Amino acid sequence: MPPRPPRPHKLLVFLVLFLFSVPLLRPIHMAPTAAAAAAVAGGGVEAEAEALLGLLQRVQSEALRAFGPNDFDPKLYVDLPLAADASAAAALASLPRAVPSRGEMEAYISRYFAPAGSDLVAAADPPDFERDPPGFLPRVERAGARAWALEVHALWKDLTRRVAPAVAARPDRHTLLPLPGRVVVPGSRFREVYYWDSYWVVRGLLVSKMYETAKDIVLNLVYLVEKYGFVLNGARSYYTNRRDSTDMTTLTTSYIIPVDLNTFILKMEQDIAFFAKLIGESTTSEIFSEASKARHNAIESVLWNADMEQWLDYWLPTDGNCQAVYQWKSNSQNRAIFASNFVPLWLNAQHSGLERFVDEAKSVRVMRSLQKSGLLQPAGIATSLSNTGQQWDFPNGWAPLQHLIVEGLLRSGSGEARELAEDIATRWVRTNYDAYKATGAMHEKYDVVTCGKSGGGGEYKPQTGFGWSNGVILSFLEEFGWPQDKEIDC
């Protein structure tokens, strides 16, 4: 008998995982198509959209001069849609020429632009949202934990939007891109769909029994693939030729073979093999199955460090001679410790009936390495050991990395690793809970040294909302539950 296809909501997860990796197949800078080049040369929507983005970049520069660098968020200005009675040409002609005062710049922006985010409209109560859905987190028994989980669940209403009809009607007046279905935004300054966030948002929506909203997200990602050939970093026109730093082209611009990127590509290859087999494309399935096996071997031979019992990024020669990677050198491995060094464990949770990526004995050794690494802190796993003041460094912890590593430990086959997975999840749940009780919000990142403290640093203010944080909390509570006698506070 042929293998039984996965349940529909599991297929959603598989498809998001696949789409999550699609951008890795495309270069960062794409040459314009002949049609786009002709449109720009002869005018039209593409040229007008390009003109709007050029204008907004000018507005961004002038705003920095007028308002100063303190509390300045450059993204705000490139997200501004034109006001209903304004044109890009008129706005450009009226842009203050001398150094504008704060009042002049505020008046100019108010006259020619609508507020950032106004081209997204609230989706009201999504039709598949229920205040307390049947079967929601049955193993969360403690009253305080359950009440909070329902509040996190209710945040999907606040984050669910639709792209305003005006965006599709006049795309030249918006940097926001039209999408066919409902969207779930991460929160705060992130007023559009992001491909990286979508996986954890979908995981949380499935816990919330919001299958139709999850399906809309997946279909939006499919639309972006059909329209642009890949899933953009975010659904904005300024992302059509630039994506997140997690990109294949990084291999040739920073001369490094990253652990986490190769993990995701391996998963993508496995997904393509799975879906190809499902639809009867046996040749394609075999090609990608073999590719995934080859990448597995390469990860283990090039990136694995037996002394440290973890995977390490590998630096390539700075002359760009990538062929030299075949002459493996131990001193080319980057021995700095990052949470991403442990991401290959996640493939244990994604083997779909295949042999585990890491066997139980090796998983235990990797677990011991994590425990000794210094990354494991009172409130979760730190992203790195370097305290640079940047948001991706110590003492910040991010929900996606907690989830990737916890799932890997959980599915390793080791009872001890499962206990550590639950311990990490417990720390993360408690810090999210206490921070929520103190601030009334879920946060983009958290300080893992101090339980109940949100994270900071980086190039923008800490953000709240927050899509992937909500999704990971709901996933952890579904996986581990919360007994009546277990404290939820830090």
pLDDT at residue 46, as a whole number: 76
Last residue of a domain, one of 61, 86, 116: 116
What's the pLDDT band for 287 if we cut at 50, 70, 90? very high
Residue 281: inside a domain, yes or no? Answer: yes
Instruction: Name the residue type at position 129.
Output: F
Task: Please give the residue that has the higher pLDDT: either 449 or 46.
Answer: 449
> Is 264 among the domain residues?
yes
CA distances from 77 to 53, 96, 187, 279, 465 (A): 10, 15, 17, 45, 21
Of 161, 226, 233, 189, the C-alpha closest to 78 is: 189
Residue 377 predicted with pLDDT over 60: yes
Distance CA 421, CA 408 (A): 8
Output the DSSP codes for 27-55: -SS-PPPHHHHHHHHH-SHHHHHHHHHHH
Report the pLDDT value the prediction gives residue 9, as an integer from 0 to 100: 57
The predicted model gives 287-302 an average pLDDT of: 94
**Considering the domain boundaries, does residue 102 fall inside one?**
yes
* Choice among 204-208, 269-273, 403-407, 425-429 with the minimum mean pLDDT: 269-273
**DSSP 8-state class, residue 234:** B
Segment 270-277 shows an average pLDDT of 92
The last residue of one of the domains, among 68, 87, 116, is 116
Number of structural domains in the chain: 2
CB-CB contact of 94 with 112 (8 Å): yes
Q: What angle do CA 184, 347, 325 make, to 5 degrees?
A: 110
- Which DSSP state fits 299? I
Residue 59: inside a domain, yes or no?
Answer: yes
Q: Is residue 271 part of a domain?
A: yes
- pLDDT greater than 50 at residue 250: no
Residue 256 placed within a domain: yes
Residues in the chain: 490
Tens-digit pLDDT profile for residues 297-333: 999 999 999 999 999 999 887 765 555 556 778 889 9
Dist CA 476 CA 259 (whole Å)? 24
pLDDT value, residue 324: 54
Place of tokens 């730190």: 382
**Amino acid at the residue 87:** S
**Is the predicted pLDDT of residue 80 greater than 50, yes or no?**
yes
Pairwise pLDDT comparison (4 vs 464), residue with the higher score? 464
**Cβ-Cβ contacts under 8 Å for 102 (sequence gap 6 or more):** 66, 67
Q: Which residue has the higher pLDDT, 316 or 168?
A: 168
Range 233-239 average pLDDT: 94
Percent above pLDDT 90 for the chain: 76
Least confidently predicted of 49-58, 118-127, 158-167, 432-441: 118-127
pLDDT at residue 21, rounded to an integer: 46
**Which tops the pLDDT comparison, 347 or 46?**
347
pLDDT per position as a tens digit, 97-153? 888 899 999 999 999 999 999 999 988 678 999 999 999 999 999 999 999 999 999
Helices 8-21 and 195-207 sit at what angle, rounded to 10 degrees?
170
**25 has a pLDDT exceeding 60:** no
Question: Is 377 contained in some domain?
Answer: no
* Range from 210-214, 355-359, 365-369, 395-399 carrying the lowest mean pLDDT: 355-359
Residue 442 lies in a domain: no
pLDDT of residue 14: 53
DSSP string, 254-282: S-EE-HHHHHHHHHHHHHHHHHHHHTT-H
Burial of 341 (0-12, 13-18, 19+ CB in 10 A): buried
pLDDT category of residue 30 using cuts at 50, 70 and 90: very low
Residue 32 reports pLDDT greater than 70: no
Lowest mean pLDDT among 71-80, 116-125, 167-176: 116-125
The confidence score (pLDDT) of residue 166 equals: 95
With a cut of 50, say whether residue 265 has pLDDT above it.
yes
Q: Amino acid identity of 260?
A: D
The residue out of 315, 335, 355 marking a domain boundary is: 335
Position with higher pLDDT, 99 vs 449: 449
| Mean of per-residue pLDDT scores for the chain | 87
Task: Please give the share of the chain, as a percent, with pLDDT higher than 70.
Answer: 85
Domain that holds residue 285: 247-335
pLDDT band at 13 (very low <50, low <70, confident <90, very high): low
Identify the pLDDT of residue 161.
94
